Structure formats: C-alpha cells, structure tokens
C-alpha cells in the first residue's frame, strides 16, 4: 500500500511539472468564469445550456484580437442577449495566457 501511494504521488508530481500548476489554475478559474457568464447570457443552468464550445487554445492560436472576437461572435451567434461585453472581458482575460499543449510522452 505504501508503494502505491508513493507511485501516485510521483505521478502527480509529473503532471504538475509537465503542466505549469499556476497556468492550470488560471485556466480553471477562466473556464469556471466562462460557464457562469454563458449561463447568464443564455439565461439557464449549465445542464440546460445549448452546445456552446469556447476553445481557449483555439482563441490563443488566432492571429489577433479581431480574429479572436470574430470566432467568439460566430460561436455565440444564436445567443439572444448582447455578447459584446462578454467577448471584450474574455479577450482581456486570455491576454498573456499560453496554450496548454498536451504533455510529452517520454520514449523509453
């Protein structure tokens, strides 16, 4: 049992090394904010929300702010409430963030 616990701790350590823990925390906080905001925009709970996918890495891949805003407008096209403030705030929040690339598998 002790060996399993040590192995688990070692695996958890690897995850936090491969992904910057601070960056992961920022991403989680941002995603929670997005879900909350979408709930307000669509006037419903998360379970009832229409299929809306906002891919932060995809936004970070965009060439500039205008392209990011356009992607968000296209994603939110069926929202009946104004989305400008949400888009502006989201673009502000992702400024300076880095893409989270998948962890690299070590070859043995």
Q: What is the pLDDT of residue 14?
A: 56
Lowest mean pLDDT among 1-5, 34-38, 72-76: 1-5
The CATH number for 85's domain is 1.10.150
Where residue 43 falls (left for φ over 0; alpha for ψ -120 to 50; beta otherwise) is left
* More confidently predicted of 24 and 48: 24
User: Is 16 among the domain residues?
Assistant: no
**39 within some domain:** yes
Q: For 75-106, how does the pLDDT look when each residue is reduced to its tens digit (9 = 90+)?
A: 999 898 999 999 999 999 999 888 876 655 55
Domain assignment present for 78: yes
Give how far the C-alpha of residue 66 lies from the chain's centroid of Cα atoms, to the nearest Å. Answer: 19
Rounded distance between C-alpha atoms, residue 42 and residue 74, angstroms: 15
Compute the radius of gyration of the chain from its Cα atoms.
Answer: 18
Q: Give the residue from 44, 108, 50, 100 showing the smallest Cα distance to 77.
A: 50
pLDDT at 76: 95
The reported pLDDT for the residue numbered 55 is: 93
Name the residue range of residue 53's domain: 21-95
pLDDT digits 0-9 by tens, 45-77? 767 777 888 999 999 999 999 999 999 999 999
Domain count, the chain: 1
Cα distance between the two ends of the chain: 26
Mean pLDDT (whole number) for 41-47: 80
- Please tell me the predicted confidence (pLDDT) of residue 84: 96
Q: What is the DSSP string of 56-88?
A: HHHHHHSSSHHHHHHHHHHHTTT-SS--HHHHH
């Amino acid at each position: 049992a002790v060996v399993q616990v040590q192995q688990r701790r070692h695996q958890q350590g690897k995850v936090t090394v491969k992904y910057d823990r601070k960056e992961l925390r920022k991403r989680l906080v941002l995603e929670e904010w997005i879900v909350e905001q979408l709930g307000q925009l669509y006037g419903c709970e998360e379970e009832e929300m229409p299929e809306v996918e906002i891919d932060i890495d995809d936004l970070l891949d965009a060439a500039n702010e205008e392209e990011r805003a356009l992607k968000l407008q296209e994603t939110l096209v069926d929202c009946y409430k104004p989305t400008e403030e949400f888009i502006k705030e989201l673009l502000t929040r992702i400024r300076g963030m880095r893409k989270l690339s998948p962890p690299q598998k070590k070859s043995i």
